[in-house]
Amino acid sequence: MDNSSRNAIATAEYDRLIARHHAMRLRRQLLAPAAPSGAGPAPDLGYGGCEGYDGAGDQQLIRRDLDLVAPLPELIDQLYEVMFRRRPYLRPLFPASMEFQQAHLERVFQHLIDHLHQPADLDRMLRQLGRDHRKLGVRPIHYEAFEEALCAALRHRAGEHWTEDLEAAWVRMLRFAVGAMVAGADAALTEPPYWHAVVTGHERRRPDLAVLRVRTGEPYPYRAGQYGTVEHPALPHTWRQYSMGCAPRGDNELEFHVRRTGPDGVSAALVERTAVGDRLRLGPPRGSLLPDGDSRDLLLVAGGTGLAPMKAIIEQQALHRPPGRRVHLFVGARDRADLYDWQSLSQLVLHKTWLSLTPVTSGRLADAVIAAGDWREHQACLTGPTGMVASMHAELLSAGLPLARIRFDQLLSR
């Protein structure tokens, strides 16, 4: 059997699994006593929200003994090895190549450990993650398998230095995270776990870059500046994040800007092996680049395909903009030819006195932004390569912009 038939069978099986979950979800909903929408934590896990959880205490314990179990990539490697050995039936829920999955989990663990003293912020992020995990067919039982494998991996790595205290702190952190994820998944019961989409446009703007338009069957409920995950039929169970490059529209059409990062993978498939009429699946929207209820002037700094969410934000501002707000967009590109969306940006900027657009195609993007003005009273949003976001972040902080007013998507940067 060739790869594409195998993939087709795997996808069909997966679709059947998801359909079963849909049916169970519906049944639960019909049988459940009326609950307010967005309600509640999963009662079976007894998740009572983040109140009462001493995240700062666990953070201290975990950090104190982190060397015993570090480096994280090896801990995670062992965790998956144990999990798939003990429960091989879980393997098909994961992509063929585990490399990205492992790196993603490493970022999640690191983010958890770094922010455990702020459980309320984590709670919000984890609920979104739980909502997102519905597309994978993840059930609470899978989290048990994960916890069992994590404990085995921790013990193995710490060896004779293992202590009950250390394991207990990790387990509390994990259960807090799982509780929030299950609560997030349950609160999203009324929406599909993923959306079907058909490609309606595919423009190869650079040898390694395409701008795609897709149309979802059901409305895709996102806000400008958010991102979603995309699965290509050639790579089942492999989901990659891309920001939506237009504001929500009535016709359910979305835009994605995709640069190929390597020879294989979802980005390469989307750039090189995708055509109008192809079908994709989208996971639920995530991210909170643009804060609600703020009317300050906006400083938007985008590097490369980081332009996509900024374009969505500008389109949104053109529709609903707090009175008097000005918006400054800086776009960094490797060179002029790499300003792949220039035509559309120039159109967007026409007749908008509140919007200014500055391309930066030589020198450091951060230097150009800092030299161009006083940003201390602005709300800043940063998107693009991790190094660019990090340097822009540091420069804006030292130029006097408060930390709370510099936004970027932490788990998005590679």
HSE-CB at 199 with a 13 A cutoff on CA atoms is 22
Per CB under 6 A, the list member of 231, 255, 395, 409 interacting with ligand NAI is: 409
Per CB under 6 A, the list member of 149, 173, 298, 308 interacting with ligand NAI is: 308
Beta 406-407 vs 379-383: how paired, if at all? parallel
Decide: is 259 part of the binding site for ligand NAI (CB under 6 A): yes
Which one of the spans 27-35, 100-108, 350-358, 386-394 is the region binding ligand NAI (CB under 6 A)?
A: 386-394
| Dihedral sign for Cα atoms in the order 53, 57, 63, 69 | negative
Q: b/e per residue, 269-304, with b = 16+ CB within 10 A?
A: bbbeebeeebebbbbbbbbebbeeeeeebbbbbbbb
Least CB distance to ligand NAI at residue 104 (A): 13
Decide: is 306 part of the binding site for ligand NAI (CB under 6 A): yes
Decide: is 414 part of the binding site for ligand NAI (CB under 6 A): yes
Nearer to ligand NAI, 137 or 385 (CB): 385
Rounded to whole angstroms, how far apart are CA atoms 389 and 369? 12
Residue closest to 101 by CA, chosen among 266, 347, 346, 220? 266
Which one of the spans 32-40, 113-121, 128-136, 383-391 is the region binding ligand NAI (CB under 6 A)?
A: 383-391
Decide: is 336 part of the binding site for ligand NAI (CB under 6 A): no
Name the token pair of 152: 């085995």
Name the token pair of 187: 């609160």
Decide: is 236 part of the binding site for ligand NAI (CB under 6 A): no
Rounded to whole angstroms, how far apart are CA atoms 312 and 373? 24
Least CB distance to ligand NAI at residue 361 (A): 7
Decide: is 333 part of the binding site for ligand NAI (CB under 6 A): yes
Least CB distance to ligand NAI at residue 96 (A): 22
Which one of the spans 114-122, 181-189, 190-198, 305-313 is the region binding ligand NAI (CB under 6 A)?
A: 305-313
Per CB under 6 A, the list member of 92, 137, 233, 385 interacting with ligand NAI is: 385
Which one of the spans 74-82, 161-169, 185-193, 380-388 is the region binding ligand NAI (CB under 6 A)?
A: 380-388
Nearer to ligand NAI, 169 or 360 (CB): 360
Under rule CB under 6 A, which residues in 48-77 are in contact with ligand NAI?
A: none
Strand order in the sheet with 227-231: 239-243, 227-231, 279-282, 195-206, 209-216, 253-259
**What contacts 410, CB < 8 A, 6 or more positions away?**
111
Per CB under 6 A, the list member of 59, 243, 267, 317 interacting with ligand NAI is: 243
In DSSP terms, which residues pair with 331 in a beta bridge?
302, 359
Name the token pair of 56: 């700062």
Nearer to ligand NAI, 112 or 360 (CB): 360
Decide: is 388 part of the binding site for ligand NAI (CB under 6 A): yes
Nearer to ligand NAI, 176 or 408 (CB): 408
Rounded to whole angstroms, how far apart are CA atoms 109 and 287? 18
Which one of the spans 41-49, 126-134, 191-199, 329-337 is the region binding ligand NAI (CB under 6 A)?
A: 329-337
Torsion of CA 283, 123, 186, 285, to 10 degrees: -20
- CA-CA distances (angstroms) from residue 210 to 27, 138, 218, 222, 259? 42, 32, 24, 22, 7
Name the token pair of 300: 């938007």
Place of tokens 């190869």: 204
Decide: is 245 part of the binding site for ligand NAI (CB under 6 A): no
Name the token pair of 77: 């490697």
Which one of the spans 86-94, 274-282, 326-334, 399-407 is the region binding ligand NAI (CB under 6 A)?
A: 326-334
Rounded to whole angstroms, how far apart are CA atoms 43 and 64? 33
Nearer to ligand NAI, 259 or 378 (CB): 259
Under rule CB under 6 A, which residues in 198-227 are in contact with ligand NAI?
A: 227
Residues lying near ligand NAI in the complex (CB under 6 A) are found at: 227, 243, 259, 303-306, 308-309, 332-334, 365, 383-385, 387-388, 391, 409, 412, 414
